[in-house]
Amino acid sequence: MSISVITFFSNKGGVGKTSMVYHLAWMFSDHGLRVIASDLDPQGNLTAAFLDEDRLEQVMPSNGHSQTIFGALEPLKRGTGDIADPHVEIISDRLGLVIGDMALSTFEDQLSEAWPKCLDRDERAFRVISAFWRIIQEAGKQHGADVILIDLGPNLGAINRAALIASDFVVIPLGPDLFSLQGLKNLGPTLRRWRDEWKERLAKNPVADLELPSGSIQPMGYVVLRHSIRLDRPVQAFDRWIARMPSTYAKAMLQKKSDPKLTIDNDPNCIAKLKDYRSLMPLAQEARKPMFFLKPADGALGAHTHSVTQAYKDFKTVAKKISAEAGIKALS
């Protein structure tokens, strides 16, 4: 039985997606779940959030032995074998990381070439397209994981197609702006097409014992990230885009009409509304820990103390909703 995979994805950058994966990975693990966080964005921002520069130097392939996602892919990419056993970087007792790598971008061409070849029952094509899923599932088994979280870059290329096919659920972070909604409109039809095309390909798998992802890519909902209001952008500008989220999500992702009376406060598809906690982020980055684990010794003093408590409550709420939707172990 495979481990549930939840991907956090937006076609728009800068919406706090990586921060959300980082904090939810810690929150899930704090409540007893064993978690694998998988960095499939070639930019590696999730990896950089978890690991300091000294450790990053040790795991990168320039030192002759890659312990990254690319290291597990390399035999397949070079045509010398299938995927290698992945390295799981232990972050805490219950939290492991599949380390990202900028070299991942060099695998994109092979993913593009393999996609149509699956229709010809090409065995290697199936191994290439399913490589991400098989690597993270193996990492999850090594770690005894209850759930796998994936972070992706904001594009609709071949890397993200393979990563989303590896996903059981997708959560979409949205910012209060036109481009977030436009990205949402792009994403819905694309996910449906990829899901249908993968289903067609699954029926042509030439190797009976080659395990492949189901490619369900089930939309779980969206999270609204309320960024701090800039002086040159009035509140009304943000409210305008926020008001459109329920109907845009329903139409783009679910192909349904939305009740015009719905707002993000009563939309069942809205998982949560989160602040960006801008004042806490520098402290959290310096301390290399989640915002909700900050202590006075980290500089979380005065008004920061309340923000730390609120951040914990907010991310716990999100984690509970996601775990319930995914059918994984309930959070207390």
Point out which residues pair with 272 in neighbouring strands.
223
Whole-number pLDDT of residue 318: 94
Which stretches within the chain are classed as H helix? Answer: 17-30, 45-50, 53-59, 69-78, 108-117, 123-129, 131-143, 158-165, 178-202, 235-254, 281-287, 303-326
- The C-alpha atoms of residue 286 and residue 279 are separated, in whole angstroms, by 12
Residues 150-174, mean pLDDT to the nearest whole number: 96
Q: What CATH superfamily is the domain 4-276?
A: P-loop containing nucleotide triphosphate hydrolases (3.40.50.300)
234 confidence band (pLDDT: 50, 70, 90): very low
User: Are the C-beta atoms of 71 and 61 separated by less than 8 Å?
Assistant: yes
Cβ neighbours of residue 169 under 8 Å, at least 6 residues apart?
4, 5, 6, 7, 216, 217, 218, 219, 220, 325, 326
- Which H or E run contains 218? strand 218-226
Mean pLDDT of 219-246: 75
Mean pLDDT, the chain, rounded, equals: 91
Separation between Cα atoms, residue 320 and residue 113, nearest integer Å: 39
Task: Convert the pLDDT of each residue in 17-27 to its tens digit.
Answer: 999 999 999 99
Q: How far, in Å, CA of 44 to CA of 299, rounded?
A: 27
One-letter amino acid for residue 127 of the chain? R
Q: What are 201-231's pLDDT values in tens digits?
A: 999 999 999 999 999 999 999 999 865 544 4
pTM for the model stands at 0.94
Percent of the chain with pLDDT over 70: 94
Residue tagged 């709420």 (tokens): 317
Query: Bridge-partner residues for 174, per DSSP?
Result: 224
Residues of the chain with CATH 3.40.50.300: 4-276
* The predicted structure's pLDDT at residue 214: 96
